[in-house]
Structure 1
């Protein structure tokens, strides 16, 4: 992958629990205004949503998880949005994947997970 530079902006992949939609949106906005290309979760519904019109199936979640790993593949770095230091199971897998592929990982909250 080409390095970020004057002709190519940095690509940042946001990772974190989709329960933090407001924090993800703020990070996306801030990074975008700073000139980065931001890759983020495309769906913020959770498998255990109580509203049937907003729930996703286990198969859809698995497909979204796999797609997010491809976003990490495209990124120059990963920013984990983790208010209070929270990192869930899916995000932990994404962090491990990013580190295994040599993609730098940073955290918005330097709590226990950072």
Structure 2
């Protein structure tokens, strides 16, 4: 079973949840998801730093990252995550090429 980390813009939160479901039930992947701020709580610099650190740790322990690139959109943070994953020998899977 391949372990993957989902990477995508938070403007695609609902889509990422559905994609995670499909990847697990249809592809048999073990999905490490983003943390979603469902209640829109304030995000301080320190919280953002912790979330980013946790997300990069997920990339470290996964086999691949799964890029949610709806309508071709890849933001700056996701571009950085792709570069990090490439530098660390991770497979990169683009959503636009899958479903």
TM-score between both structures, scaled by the size of structure 1: 0.77
For the aligned residue pairs, the C-alpha RMSD in angstroms reads: 1.7
Q: In 2, distance between residues paired with 1:14 and 1:23?
A: 11
Q: Which has the higher helix share?
A: 2
Counterpart check, 1:81 vs 2:68: yes
Structure 1 runs, 4 residues or longer, greater than 6 Å off = none
Tell me what 2:8 maps to: 16
In the alignment, structure 1 segments of 5+ residues that lack a partner are 1-8, 46-50
The aligned counterpart of 2:92 is 105
Q: How far is the alpha carbon of 1:58 from its aligned partner? A: 1.6
Report 1 or 2 for greater relative contact order, CA contacts < 8 Å, sequence distance ≥ 6.
2
Residues paired across the two proteins, number: 96
Q: TM-score scaled by structure 2?
A: 0.87
Deviation at 1:91, TM superposition (A): 0.8
Shift of residue 60 of structure 1?
Answer: 0.7
